[in-house]
Each structure stands twice: as structure tokens, then as C-alpha cells.
Structure 1
Amino acid sequence: MSNQTIAVIGLGNMGGRMAANLAKAGLTVQGFDVSAEAKKSSKKDGVAVFDTAVEAAEGADVVITMLPNGDLVKKVLGELLDADSTAKVYIDSSTISVQDAREIGESVYDRGSQFIDAPVSGGTTGAEAGTLAFMVGGTEEAFNQVHPVLDVMGRSITHCGQVGNGQAVKACNNMILAVQQMVLSEAIVLGERLGLDHQAFFDVVSNATGNSWSLSVNAPIPDVVPTSPANNDFQPGFSSALMLKDLRLAMESAQATDTDTVLGKIATQAFEEFVAAGNGNLDFSAVINEVRR
């Protein structure tokens, strides 16, 4: 792995940190982003920055994309495949629909390269610490080929089956997370109105059957866990806008598979309203403020 060249297209909050960890591990990392600020930051982290995605991908063995949506992933990978027919492994760590991932996979395989969808969980904290959880869809061959690269950026790398299955499990996971965050917020507010101290609530529930990541790591109340965005006015580890994006993708898959997701729909509606009210840039745990209101 040490002699591989990795291209990272999308050097934002997640991609920039992932590229930095790859460079720190001694890999040759070539990057591109439309943001001058993102490029400047990545350059400081040891990433060779280029003016276009095509230039960044030139000579790379593995190309990682971390982009805002499926349409942009299709556009960028289309440009890369048109510009360079050399066989590579393309890893898309964006969060996109299952259908988009499978369509992109087919187009990449038709050009003689490998493709895996590898969305992540762990937010910017996990990206910086190199402790992301990767959910991977693709062939066993492609998975084994890129596992050492993913291992640099994550602590959990799970092969979930065919292309698109990474996105499938990401949608399921984040629907669970959103529902947990909603019910946790309701329970905290109920506790407040019953006269419970936040610390007492945390000490009991974090050691009881109601515990969850939403409480033990991302508690929506300040001064009980050091990792909580509530300690910093809900500056996001994972924004409400991104949570809403993931919930919409989950609802899209639910509709396509005729799956009744009652609680998922409720959480989606709650985040629709929360983001529409101008809270999209806050951490998704800030939804507790809407519950209080």
C-alpha cells in the first residue's frame, strides 16, 4: 500500500480530514476541491493539490470521491472516466441513493475499472481521528484491494455485499439515529419538566437500557460529555441539513421497497421543519430545542 497514489476529490469537512490521514500514513495523496480554502488547508496537510479533478486523478491507483450528492458524483466520475481509461478502483464515500450508487457502479465496471460505495459514519470527529465506520458495497475483490486504504481512515470496515449495499445500510443506520435523537430529546425535556437534573439523567440512562450513542457521545445537553456539540452552541459534528438529506434518501428507499417506516416518517417531518426554520447548520442534536419549544 505504501507505494500507492490516492486521489481525493472533495476536500471539505470530511474529505479533507480523510486525505490528511492518508498523507500522514505516508501515501502519495493528490486532491481537488472547488473551494480555494479547502485546497489551501489540504496543502498544509501534505496533499498535492491540483486545479481540476481530472489532474488530481491522473496516475492514481485509487480515487476517492466525497461529494454533496449523487448527480455530482455521476458528473465527476464521468469526467474522470472519459479522461483516463486506465484501470483504477473508484471509492465513493459520499452519501447518495442506492439506485445512484448502482448506476455509477455499472458505468465504472463497463469502463474496465472497479467501484465500491463506501459511505461513512462518525462525522468530522471520526474523520479527523481516523476512526470512521465504512459500510462497503462492491465485489469481494475490490473490497480486499482497498481495505488497507480504508483502514487508515477508519476503525470499522464492513463489507455489506453488492454495490449499493453500503448506501442501503447507511440509510438504515441514520434513520435509527434520527429516531433515537428525537426520543432522547423528548425524554430529556420530560425529565427537565419533572425536575430532573441533567447530570442525574445522564448518569442513570447512560448506564441503563435507554443508553445510546446519541446520549453517551452526542448528548444534546451541555457539560455531561466532552464530545457533545451542545458544549459549543451545537456547532455541527453532523449537521441537521445532512441528517435531513439522509432521511430523505431513507424515505426514498422505503417508498421504492414498499416499506412502512412510521417512526422514520415522523423523524423526517421533524427535521424538515427544523431545517426549514433556519437550523440546517446546527448539529442534528439541536433538534432538542424544537422539542422544548
Structure 2
Amino acid sequence: MAKIAFLGLGNMGGPMSANLANAGHEVAGFDVVPEARDKAAAAGVTPFESAAEVAKGAEVIITMLPNGALVEQVVREVLDAEDVPRLFIDSSTIAVAEAREIASLVEDAGSRFLDAPVSGGVAGSQAGTLAFMVGGSKEAFDEAHSILEPMAKSVTHCGATGNGQAVKACNNMILAVQQIVLAEAIVLGERLGLEHQAFYDVVSNATGNSWSLSVNAPVPDVVPTSPANHDFAPGFSSALMLKDLKLAMASAEETGTDTELGRIAAQQYGAFVDEGNGGLDFSAIINEVRNRR
């Protein structure tokens, strides 16, 4: 069992750290929000009030933070506080270039770094069924695998540093496009007189099936796991989807890649969030589709 410092105990990081503690690891945690620290403490995580304090003596540092600037800030605090070799795992969703810059910072200090963003949302973090996509050396990946397993359904090595973030950007661009076209198909079906259950029963067993339908169907009373059953309380918010789409579009521009459908999805989620819907699950985009004429 490892001594782990977990930095970022929010909707994703809190359950992730709890799953590590439940697996028998010695887990200390930090978050700037006192309520998040208290909730993690109730789940078996030892809370601290600064990044520097929580990381002292830890063998593994895991970060789950809102953006790359915060990840870099926290990593610098940890490195400044204790200059010893250890493994850094960043499960935040940040730009590929940011991940590679932070990796250089960590490696220059004599430690190892993996970018390991996740897919699966809050439900996956709570159930320990996240999909980890990991970039970094094979040696660091092998070292991290047993650490990630209690939080994961799958753990995949994607190659060099930054490749975890690259796959995450591509995956969520696909997901956004799927969610929009699914919403369009459901609304078209509604206007043709098709019941939601009939739509689901056919499409979920046909070639049009997707996670967006089978798990996250944007209509109530069809799929038990759907946020639509709870007024679109987010498993994965529209604001976070927009953040990921912006990262994907930045990567597309950097690489000269034409991602026309991804660009349309980014525009639609941008408008949806600007209208005040950022706190809703990203499947709530169906409401915007229904309002189009």
C-alpha cells in the first residue's frame, strides 16, 4: 500500500480519494474548500490545509484540479516544500502542451510524471469505474497501475507524456458531437409522433447506439442513470464540456486539423453556456435543440 497525497477533493477528486482509502492506501488530502476536506475526511482521507503539508512524506502525488495553471502552481508548491523523488499523477483535464511543460518541471526535479485524465464523470468517480488514459514513460505507468486500479474500470497507457490529454480531447469531442446529434434525432422523433421508449428500445439495440443514449439519454424515465431524471443535475456539466471542447479546438488549430463537427459542437455548447446553462449536465443541450426553428 502506498502513501498518497490527493490534491483537489471536489466532485471528482473527493470520491476518487475515498476509493483509494477504501482500498487500503494511506491517503491525505487537500482542497481549498473546507466542506470538501470535511467530506473527504468522513470517507477516510486525512485532511490538510495546504498542498505543501499534505505532500510531505507522500510517495505519490495525485492532482485533480480545474485547469493547468492551478496544476502547475500546486506542483511547484509541492516541489519547493520537499525535494525528494516520487511519482506525480495529474488526472485534471488540461492542454497537451501544459501537461508536457509540467512533466518537464517534475522530471527536472528528479521525480516521475504521468498525465492521466479520466472519463466517466461523477458517477464513475463514485463507483470506481473511471477510464484512465495515461501518458508518460512505461516505467512510470507500471508503477502507477496499482494506484489507479481502485478508481478505475480501465487503465490504458497511451504513449508519451501528453498523450493522455490528447486522447481525452479527442474522446470528448466525439462525445459532444454524439450528444448533439442524438438530441436532434430525439427531437425529430418527437415531432414525428415517436415515443421516447420506442426510440430507445430500437436505437439502443441498433447501429445508432452510443453511451450518450444507453447511459446518458437526455429524456427522463428511460434510463435510470440519466441526469434527465433529475432536472439535468450534472454528471458532467455543460461548462466542463465546453472547457474540453476549447482544449480540443486549440489542439486542432495547433496541428492544422480540420474538425468541422467539433467546431460546430464547440459553438453550440458555447452559446448554451452563455445562456446560463453551464451548471446543467451536457445532455441538457436537447433543450436548446427543441428551441431551434
| TM bin (shorter chain) | over 0.9
Supply the AA of the counterpart residue of 1:61.
E
Q: Give me the CA root mean square deviation.
A: 0.4
CA deviations on 1:112-171 (whole Å, 9 max, x unpaired) are 000000000000000000000000000000000010010110010000000100000000
Structure 1 distance, partners of 2:210, 2:20, is 30
Supply the AA of the counterpart residue of 2:70.
L
Structure 1 distance, partners of 2:204, 2:46, is 44
Report the 3-state secondary structure (helix = DSSP H, G, I; strand = E; otherwise coil) of the residue aligned with 1:195: coil
Shift of 1:83: 1.1
Aligned residue in 2 for 1:83: 81
Match of 2:264 among 263, 266, 269: 266
Match of 1:245 among 243, 246, 259: 243
TM-score (norm 1): 0.99
Report the 3-state secondary structure (helix = DSSP H, G, I; strand = E; otherwise coil) of the residue aligned with 2:156: strand
Aligned residue in 2 for 1:118: 116
Aligned residue in 2 for 1:14: 12
Listed as ranges, the matches of 1:274-289 within 5 Å are: 274-289=272-287
CA deviations on 1:236-292 (whole Å, 9 max, x unpaired) are 000000000000000000000000000000000000000000000000000000000
Between the two proteins, the alignment pairs up a number of residues equal to: 291
Supply the AA of the counterpart residue of 1:157.
V
Listed as ranges, the matches of 1:30-109 within 5 Å are: 30-109=28-107
Where structure 1 has 5 or more consecutive residues not aligned to the other structure, the ranges are none
Report the 3-state secondary structure (helix = DSSP H, G, I; strand = E; otherwise coil) of the residue aligned with 1:156: strand
CA deviations on 1:174-214 (whole Å, 9 max, x unpaired) are 00000000000000000000000000000000000000000
Structure 2 distance, partners of 1:97, 1:68, is 12
Shift of 1:26: 1.0
Match of 2:219 among 215, 218, 221: 221
Where structure 2 has 5 or more consecutive residues not aligned to the other structure, the ranges are none
Structure 2 distance, partners of 1:14, 1:163, is 22
Aligned residue in 2 for 1:182: 180
TM-score (norm 2): 0.99
Identity %: 68
Report the 3-state secondary structure (helix = DSSP H, G, I; strand = E; otherwise coil) of the residue aligned with 2:113: strand
Report the 3-state secondary structure (helix = DSSP H, G, I; strand = E; otherwise coil) of the residue aligned with 1:176: helix
Report the 3-state secondary structure (helix = DSSP H, G, I; strand = E; otherwise coil) of the residue aligned with 2:159: coil
Displaced runs of 4+ in structure 1, greater than 3 A? none
Report the 3-state secondary structure (helix = DSSP H, G, I; strand = E; otherwise coil) of the residue aligned with 2:131: strand
Report the 3-state secondary structure (helix = DSSP H, G, I; strand = E; otherwise coil) of the residue aligned with 1:103: helix
